Amino acid sequence: MLSDSDLQAIWLTVRLAGIVTVILLLIGTPIAWWLARCKAWWKGPIAAVVAMPLVLPPSVLGFYLLLAMGPHGPVGQLTEALGIGRLPFTFWGLVVASVFYSLPFMVQPLQTAFEGIGERPLEVAATLRAAPLDAFFSVAVPLARPGFLTASILTFAHTVGEFGVVLMIGGNLPGVTRVASVQIYDHVEAMEYADAHRLSAVMLIFSFLVLLTLYAWRPGTKKGA
């Protein structure tokens, strides 16, 4: 069925999307929490920056990230100084770029979920002796669980679907940066339509299943008592 290089591309894609989702859960949650509860004037600009990848062409984002991570960019100089080397055209460069690219898909559902909880349950938790961090983990996170699921699924799926940023930052190195979407592009370029069909079908089914999960399985939105 699928060739070894196809399987390799799929595995790389899953690995990339998985790592990005985990990293974004760690980074996106505090950002979403802050955006949901902050009333400062500079909340607006920050929210706009977070949402930017939604409207920016991936090539634009990729271009700036490439400059930043390149030998003359601030990130590139930092990684070289730290002895990590350069990030472009490596798997971890791809991870960093994808984190930026998928940020809004994690932050926005979480922000909506946190806003939906409202102030009250946290006030209740405080009157029941829970310190703020304790209240966050014991009340806010469980109540925002549907939001966490939606955000994780969207982030994972969106990372799987990226193409432009990958080409800009990762290039097309087998086993390193050649993810499924790039592999399909390669097949088409090489006129291997049968291979392109197979891999595309896998992607099609995957996308459908993800969206089906998201829409068919509506977590019972239980009203707060």
Q: Which two tokens stand for residue 31?
A: 């950002």
Q: Is 224 in the site for other proteins (CB under 8 A)?
A: yes
**3-class DSSP state for residue 36?**
helix
| Stretch binding other proteins (CB under 8 A), from 54-62, 128-136, 158-166, 206-214 | 128-136
Pick 19 or 126: Cβ nearer other proteins? 126
- Of 15, 22, 78, 123, the one binding other proteins by CB under 8 A: 123
- Of 125, 157, 180, 182, the one binding other proteins by CB under 8 A: 125
Q: Which residue from 206, 210, 188 is spatially nearest to 197, judged by alpha carbons?
A: 188
Q: What is the dihedral of CA 195, 199, 202, 203, to 10 degrees?
A: -150
Q: Which residue from 45, 62, 145 is spatially nearest to 96, judged by alpha carbons?
A: 62
Pick 121 or 174: Cβ nearer other proteins? 121
Q: Is 120 in the site for other proteins (CB under 8 A)?
A: yes
Q: Which two tokens stand for residue 33?
A: 């929490």
Rounded Cα distance between 104 and 34, Å, is 14
Pick 80 or 123: Cβ nearer other proteins? 123
Q: Is 138 in the site for other proteins (CB under 8 A)?
A: yes
| Stretch binding other proteins (CB under 8 A), from 3-11, 61-69, 115-123, 153-161 | 115-123
Q: Which two tokens stand for residue 105?
A: 């898909």
Rounded Cα distance between 175 and 17, Å, is 15
Pick 80 or 134: Cβ nearer other proteins? 134
Pick 33 or 101: Cβ nearer other proteins? 33
Rounded Cα distance between 148 and 151, Å, is 5
**Chain residues in the site for other proteins (CB under 8 A):** 120-121, 123-132, 134-135, 138-139, 142-143, 145, 222-225
